[in-house]
A and B are shown apart, each in its own frame.
Chain A
Amino acid sequence: MVSFGKLCQILAFTFCAGGMVLLLVGITRNDLRLIRSARRALYSLAIFSSLAVFALAWLFAVGNYQVKYVAAYSDRALPLFYKITALWAGQDGSLLFWAWVLSLVTAIVIFNTRKELHSSNTPYIYLVLAGVSSFFLFLIITVSDPFTLLPYAPRDGQGLNPMLQNPGMIFHPPTLFLGYIGFTVPFAYAIAAMVSGKLDESWLQKTRTWNVLSWVLLTIGIILGGQWAYVELGWGGYWAWDPVENASFIPWLVATAFIHTAIIQERRNIMKIWNMTLIVLTFILCIFGTYLVRSGVLQSVHDFGASGLGGYFLIFMAALLLGSVYLIAASYQDLRTEHSLESYLSRESTFLFNNVVLLAIAFSTLFGTMFPLLSEAVTGNKITVSQPFFNRVNTPLFLLLLLITGICPLIGWRKASADNLRKNFLIPLLTTIGSSAAMFAAGIRALYPLLAFSLSVFVATTILVEFWTGTRARKILTGEPAHIAFPKLLWKMRRRYGGFIAHFGVVLMVIGITGSNAYKLEEQATLFRGQSMDIGAYSLRYDNMKRYKLYNRDIYAANLTVYKDGKMAGTISPEKRFYVNADEPTTEVSLRSTLMEDLYVTMPAIGKSREITLRVAVNPLILWVWIGGFVMVLGGIISIIPSRKKVK
């Protein structure tokens, strides 16, 4: 199976490179037969990379520990499910996974464009996709081969990092990768449009689903990563502004900016250069994220260490950047905007300013992430840039973004009149002022939380007003009752209202993030059996300790009775786990989750007399972070549900 896997990798690369040659010759000679042959070669690429992935998964399943990668990320005791998903736990396997998914995406694009072979930009789209695939396949077969054999066959593997043995970690990396890989498609279309000179908005229309779907997957990946950190790492938070977290967040910000201004180009045919620049930046930043994890240039809790791949990624990114800049410069005259903007106060201009703020956050995050390297190069001083820096710099920018998110829907396309603005702003402004006063009276006095909650109310009100006015308009137009008009409105205009639902998800997330950061309570205590500790309205009593074995781990679980306001509210059971093949035990969080707050308990230490050290936190409103994330993703999905073609 090892030889089979290796052979499949080599064949996948051969078909990919062959396909590229056929495409280049086909384009030069304008020979459609060669383009068709290239399509078949790229289909073969998908088949052989799938077989290579199957071979590696098989080796994990049967436990062939002579394969270096299998030995490094699994062992006999590991449950089968985690054995299979260990495929993307390390560098070599994750690169193979990347190449495989990209080959499938390429096959889907080839299938979808089967009737567009005569279009001058179609071969270029294939060429870009194949070019990116060939880079990853080249890395796999030369410097990062997951089928490399050890000189001996160990009896057992080293096992999977216990932190990664969590359901969140099964889905977090692949969804992130899928998001990254998905952006290859709009990038390929953009490059093809510039090379072929077909620079109308058709490339945007054709890639809209890919854009939003990739954004949705990237969003899911980031949220799952946060959720995993929250339940697995035991520090009570979900986002630490770690370099690798930032590496996924930066392209997400730029992609979000792109999705917004793509709407402007589709509607008004302006911002063509801007959109080209944004999609190029998004894709290069996706590759940059991959580079950051694998280069070892920055210290992170996530990275794979210095792997020797950094140089290859740098060359690849430089080639992408230089090529893209050249193409944008060469197409500048054709990309120049013909149409005009009537007013500073139009939805188009608010979209532009929303873009500026999104990019400012992306820039500050990138700059902060890379600043330790810059500082060391300039001053010779090693410094750390972590959570407090990013919170301080980015929070004002996020609040500004939230304000613009609220203002944007209140301003009409093209040009808003003063009367129109007064009417649109009246209800949201009055609601915001009233609720801010109520919150202030209720004791929310700190500036950040008050601003964040008030702006959340503002944005939520603008969205609700949009839904209400839309429903009312439909009622008047169709005579339908409100309970029919509302869902029909949602369905019929899902692209528009999907966006609003995503914005509403952002509001819910802001509420959750603000509550859980500003009003968090934390306590640490050591308890003997029968003793209690208090935190906020909660009291926790340590009842007993249970020890048992499960799969590949020994588990010590402390049973605690939870009281809230003096009344029994249930039990909670934090664990200490001792995994086979792990050097250190891990802590397992125990949660009592409600819409208002989470009681978050970890057990960092167990004493000789079975006394336990507990770290307990009360995290207000944190569930709304996950609910908001779900709503945001739901909004994105709703907005790309395809409509049936109208039959006339």
Chain B
Amino acid sequence: MKTFKYTVVILMAAVLFLSFAVQLPAATSSEIEQELMCDCGCNDMLVNCTCERSEQMRGIIDGMIDEGKSKEEILALFVSQFGESILSSPPRRGFNLVAYGAPFVGLLVGVGIAFVFVRRWRGRDSDDESGPHDDGYSSPGDEMDSRIDDELRKMEDDI
């Protein structure tokens, strides 16, 4: 049972870690457009905007790519001209790190609180955890069938 618990926890942690650790591949024109907002006042990302101003901005980006400028250089030029609000997401430094970290801190705190609750609720009933519980939800025979039968009966009572 313990092994299973650890497997589930490791599986969940792996999903979270691997998916957060994934990095975007090298930049293209469209990727730079995703990093910028259109400055026409539409509040759309450049890649999504279809206004005339967005076409001008795309032209500027294509020009800079042709000049051999890197993604970082192009973004820095836009920031120097329009300020950081031209970026579609805050750069990962300084106070902005709070935005990136808070959701995961929130998740950890939530999981911690949930564990405390479950532990407290468990504390009210000091059953042994090592074997199947004889509450009519599991039986020594075909456990799957028993579970379904019980649930079927219970749910039919519910509705």
Please give the residue numbers on chain A whose beta carbons come within 8 Å of chain B beta carbons, in ascending order. Answer: 233-237, 240, 242, 266-267, 270, 299-301, 337, 339-345, 349, 352-353, 355-357, 359-361, 363-364, 367-368, 371, 375, 378-379, 381-389, 392-397, 399-400, 403-404, 407, 412-424, 446-448, 451, 455, 469-470, 472-474, 476-477, 492-496, 522, 584, 587, 602, 604-605, 615, 643
Q: Are A352 and B118 in contact (CB under 8 A)?
A: yes
Interface status of B133 (Cβ within 8 A of chain A): yes
Interface status of B68 (Cβ within 8 A of chain A): no
Knowing A340-B122, A360-B106, A382-B84, say if A415 contacts B50 (CB, 8 Å). no
- 6 more contacts with CB within 8 A, not counting A343-B122, A356-B107, A417-B143, are A341-B122, A343-B129, A387-B88, A389-B99, A399-B15, A407-B8
What does the 1/0 interface line of B35-51 toward A look like (CB < 8 Å)? 10100001111011111
Knowing A378-B95, A383-B87, say if A420 contacts B124 (CB, 8 Å). no
What does the 1/0 interface line of B124-138 toward A look like (CB < 8 Å)? 110101011101011
| B129 proximity list for chain A (CB < 8 A) | 342-343, 415
Q: Are B148 and A242 in contact (CB under 8 A)?
A: no
Interface status of B16 (Cβ within 8 A of chain A): yes
Q: What separation, in Å, do the CA atoms of A394 and B89 have in the docked complex?
A: 14
| A381 proximity list for chain B (CB < 8 A) | 83-84
Q: What separation, in Å, do the CA atoms of A357 and B15 have in the docked complex?
A: 13
Q: Are A492 and B156 in contact (CB under 8 A)?
A: yes
Task: With CB as the reference atom, state the residue of chain B lying closest to A603.
Answer: B50
Q: Is chain A's binding surface mostly helix, strand, loop or mixed?
A: helix
| B145 proximity list for chain A (CB < 8 A) | 473, 476
Interface status of B111 (Cβ within 8 A of chain A): yes
Tell me the count of chain B residues lying within 8 A, CB to CB, of chain A: 77
Q: What separation, in Å, do the CA atoms of A494 and B158 have in the docked complex?
A: 11
What is the CB-to-nearest-CB distance from B35 to chain A, in angstroms, rounded to a whole number?
7
Q: What separation, in Å, do the CA atoms of A375 and B94 have in the docked complex?
A: 10
| B110 proximity list for chain A (CB < 8 A) | 356-357, 359-360
| A472 proximity list for chain B (CB < 8 A) | 148
Interface status of B18 (Cβ within 8 A of chain A): yes
Q: Are A448 and B15 in contact (CB under 8 A)?
A: no
Q: Are B114 and A353 in contact (CB under 8 A)?
A: yes
Q: What separation, in Å, do the CA atoms of A414 and B135 have in the docked complex?
A: 9
| B63 proximity list for chain A (CB < 8 A) | none
Q: Are B132 and A477 in contact (CB under 8 A)?
A: no
Q: Are B89 and A388 in contact (CB under 8 A)?
A: yes
Q: Are B138 and A417 in contact (CB under 8 A)?
A: yes
| A236 proximity list for chain B (CB < 8 A) | 48
CB pairs A–B below 8 angstroms (20 shown): A234-B50, A299-B43, A342-B122, A359-B106, A361-B103, A367-B102, A381-B83, A387-B88, A387-B89, A389-B99, A389-B100, A407-B8, A415-B129, A417-B143, A420-B144, A420-B147, A476-B145, A477-B152, A493-B155, A494-B159
Knowing A235-B44, A344-B118, A393-B100, say if A473 contacts B149 (CB, 8 Å). yes
Task: With CB as the reference atom, state the residue of chain A lying closest to B51.
Answer: A584
Interface status of B96 (Cβ within 8 A of chain A): yes
| B37 proximity list for chain A (CB < 8 A) | 384, 386
Interface status of B75 (Cβ within 8 A of chain A): no
